[in-house]
Amino acid sequence: MPSPAGAFDPINNTVWDEVSGDWVPAVSTPDVSTAAIPLEYKLVFDSAAPGLTQKIAEAQKPGENWTDTYGRIASSLLMTVQQYQLINLNTERAKKGLPPVDIASYSGVGVNIGLSPSTQQLLIFGGLAVAALVLLNRSRK
């Protein structure tokens, strides 16, 4: 019984070869740098989440690798799930009369990078003092 072109058998690690009309070993590693999703990945994605490869193809920008598109979708989905969890957590906390949780402390997304305001103020005043000393030194010469 012939199988559809490009079908993959994960148990035997074989693919259907339309030219020879037979199952052949799937020995090559799929090239993930191409724009199209390799068949092996399509089969795995669609078995895990039906319609995922179609959504990736729809969201794909011209000339973009499918891996980049998948990364954008996954990142967006992760942020949506985290927001949903935060809303549920804050709803439960509100029912208990507790204040809401700040997103920076919940998901780690709002990591503060840079100097604290007090350190910035100290550096500004220190810089002004050094500049004043330089100007004072130049004016005495």
pLDDT tens digits for 61-113? 888 888 888 888 888 888 888 888 888 988 999 999 998 887 766 555 555 56
- The C-alpha atoms of residue 109 and residue 78 are separated, in whole angstroms, by 12
Domain ranges of the chain: 31-110, 113-141
| Residue of higher predicted confidence among 20 and 4 | 20
Long-range contacts, 75-78 (Cβ 8 Å, 24+): none
Paired residues of 23 in beta bridges: 16
Exposed/middle/buried for 125, CB within 10 Å: 0-12, 13-18, 19+?
A: exposed
DSSP codes of every residue in 74-125: HHHHHHHHHHHHHHHHHHHHHHTTPPPPPHHHHHSTT---S--HHHHHHHHH
What b/e readout covers 75-110, taking b as 16+ CB neighbours within 10 angstroms?
eeeeeeeeeeebeeebeeeeeeeeeeeeeeebbeee
pLDDT in tens, 25-39: 776 555 555 667 777
Q: Which long-range CB contacts under 8 A does 107-113 form with residues at least 24 apart?
A: 107/82, 109/82
pTM beyond 0.75: the answer is no
